[in-house]
Copies of this chain bind each other. A is one copy, B any other.
């Protein structure tokens, strides 16, 4: 492993270069360039260039992140890509005002939802436990499971967007019930997050906000 103070990424815009970051980087198996691409130099983008994001890029991201673990291998995340102007126009009224302009301009917007009936696929996805589908017969429990595991998958997806060399702009500021009615009227899907995807445009982000330290969030017994 290489890395440590003076490693290639030090001083690059958007890279964390504090002493703590330097020390940790060299202890990881993941190379420094990948650390930067996925975490250290990666930022939530608020502006995007006009360069399109094509279906093959999205498929490549999915093909990578689908290997991330979910309980019972259930994979409840579903992704609705809004490409057409008409579809985008249907979304915008549900966004908080601060999210509208950037979403209208982003090359691609993904609506991320959990399939609350994901258990129907378990006989194929978890075949060595044929009774797994029945474990999720209770809809309330199942919705909680769908939400939790789809959210884990959203974590993988945001990393996957970065793995493709793109920037993600996750947005929680929207009327989720409205988006659900508009795009998932079947009652089978719960909308969790919107994500703009593209290449960062001018002034795509402000200064990196502070992060909590290990001492603040990790305890040992």
Does the CB pair B63–A164 fall under 8 Å? no
Contact of A152 among B69, B86, B154, B218 (CB under 8 A): B154
Does the CB pair A29–B37 fall under 8 Å? yes
- What separation, in Å, do the CA atoms of A57 and B28 have in the docked complex? 8
Identical copies of this chain, number: 2
Interface residues on A, range: 35 or more
Does the CB pair B16–A40 fall under 8 Å? no
A-side interface residues toward B, CB under 8 Å? Answer: 16, 20-21, 23-25, 27-31, 33-35, 37-40, 42, 44, 55-69, 71, 73, 75, 77-84, 86-87, 121, 124-128, 145, 147-148, 151-156, 158-159, 162-165, 168, 170, 172, 183, 192, 206, 208-212, 214, 217-221
- What are 8 A-B pairs at a CB distance below 8 A? A27-B164, A29-B37, A29-B165, A30-B164, A58-B214, A66-B212, A67-B208, A69-B168
